[in-house]
A and B are shown apart, each in its own frame.
Chain A
């Protein structure tokens, strides 16, 4: 065969080898360490930052807003309005992590110094971290936090320009962030917030939200409690009420307590809107795992032994059948990184080497192949026998 001529053809390999060596010989010997694409990735996702509490203020009689800046100052990473921060709390020498929707706006994080805020309601006895935020945090405290996680945000290439927020209780926080970002002109959307509360003095961020109202931000408070003086909307966030405030093509964003999700799933069905127009924030850790379909209720009082492998190191810890593997690990003082605590993000992806377990069906965000090989998201998995698991070394 011939391409150009025998000699030229057979000389090809040595020609290209010479060319390559020549390129190296003539190259600079100065180390080139610039990685601008990596730098942008690190600016958006720096991982855990030291965040210092700068200010604590009242958001309602039962809730507080906490402002954080980066320890040492400077900008905080960009994020999308609606996303959360995963904060690590050290309580009794053990690290426990919680996700909180950021109630401040992204543009505020990009100031210098930038800040983020979370708004947390005191619990009714079931959330010791929520109580700690309300009663135990003081200005100057430093916590580690991972900013800008989660999928609950407005995506202009997917969502309608008109967003209807269906919020309950402390579920108002992601929408407070959106409202501020829209008011600042840095998010191009229109927002109508239907905000359900039991009592008027229970409305979180009431003043701040009222101050943001404009032709692009509308706030409708809805009271379910019996208050004779209330002149606004009453009842629950029913399909009828939602219809009343819907204007043309609308995306529904839902964030609130688990009971509200159950109610709204039915109401949304009545609206006959396409699936792509409805977005629920993650469910949160199941309040009562025994109430879910398929959970073996007869095991609810059992405590099992979990053998935890980290590298070649092995620990044994107790674990209750009604508490997730993450809770058992945190109780035992074994560090496992979590973010959403709803089975979605996969930060706590864990290999089950042996033993039986139950995965909360609301929170099963696993990949198909992961299921096949007994991987679980430990925040959504509950032991049903003694187990051996493998987790990453933190």
Chain B
């Protein structure tokens, strides 16, 4: 049974972080250089952490499976980053951002973590602006804002439709500076394949060089994982094709608890699926909902008609109808389920009937085409490339797709997992978004963790570790972990199978989407829990992995990742089955209000479920951490 001490500081909510910072232990500057820290991943959380820790004087090794840290998938975030700057004078404050985020997460996040996130949000904008991030500006030269879902203020900062790219390039520039100065040793094309735990503490990793196949051991005083989410368990998602859960899954198998895996986010505005060959779904930024209006025909028989031929009176602007105070800016989970209900009623549009319209004709009338082009031009271009349709003339067709995972490795207030010395940042942890993440909050959390939380909290752990005491890489634990990795590789390559890895990934994705997607039921989840273990056995028996271990072998890379996804998918379904309530992105059909909204059960489920590995073939253990709300009332989330 794992010990889950959240280590939330005592005292008033608004003072906790300040108080904690003054009370935690520090490492003196001369000692910092004696500590080596491994950072895995170089997205917003990883690169900001690696750069900042190196600035402080720690010796940092940064591992990234991409060929360059700049390619991590944070780069693809489009819309923006939230911060409680209140530059618009529209009533924003740290407290309001805290409250919106907590409510947006359907009261399933820790109050103290969310409040800290809102507090440091303002520092993030300052930091990024100083790095030269070209944020959108007003004519007077000050920063511009836009609105995002789940908020009634305008607090989202942005750089056209490429905010994630610009923030990541900012963090990458800080990282590059520290690489140039020798503070960070960069290991690109390097995939972490196991975590090394020595005397109960995380002290190293096993890495495969993707270009040469070389397996190496790396020892450190602490290990930080910033390796992103596990949404590709659904195969089709808005994630990058190579985004994977291998680092967090292998850490789970070494004893780190995985919290709330069933909290997955389905984004309402993505380009619909077109065929079986499809490799990914492309997101259309939520920012489009500022000016686009979402509708379906009122009558089923109009669903296949040319949208231009459907008169205004026959259109159902269903979000504006059902949620008048938030309208087209209702939160993501609410909007996604509403779209699904429209399609279930047979009013979905497009060839497949799995789509709704996102219509800009009113915005073009009101603002003119050039203004709409300036705001969203690149998104309209992306849409055109994929569908060959011109969204200035005809409405976009959109449909929900898997986009983000709120669940992740369990961490305490210091972002340390239940394995001492193992820290988890960004989307890879579970901490700040509860059961649903609001738009423009992922970038905020990644950078908060990397720039402003871990630089303080890492010291608190390291101060208790003797400088220079990290184990040598010839220790038995390293040898055992390396053998674990090489054995796995050997098994894949010597398997006499018939089917490529993608065959199994697609089948897993279909099971997950059908039984554990936007709406879940007990019966469906039980079916999934039969199908997934069967798929795992079939995968082990009949996957075919060509090529060798000592060269670039993309099939081998993919095989390891899909093996992990199959196991993680099973845990995800198990978590969804056990959580007998609906909250945020986790919607159980049995638990809903008469109007189709989520029905939480705070009596039984106001807790974090943190799963603990018990060995191959054993049912994992479900630990819980109670969510004690001292300052906010858990209420019914309403956007009406």
Chains A and B belong together in one complex: no
Residues of B bordering A, CB below 8 Å: none
Residues of A bordering B, CB below 8 Å: none
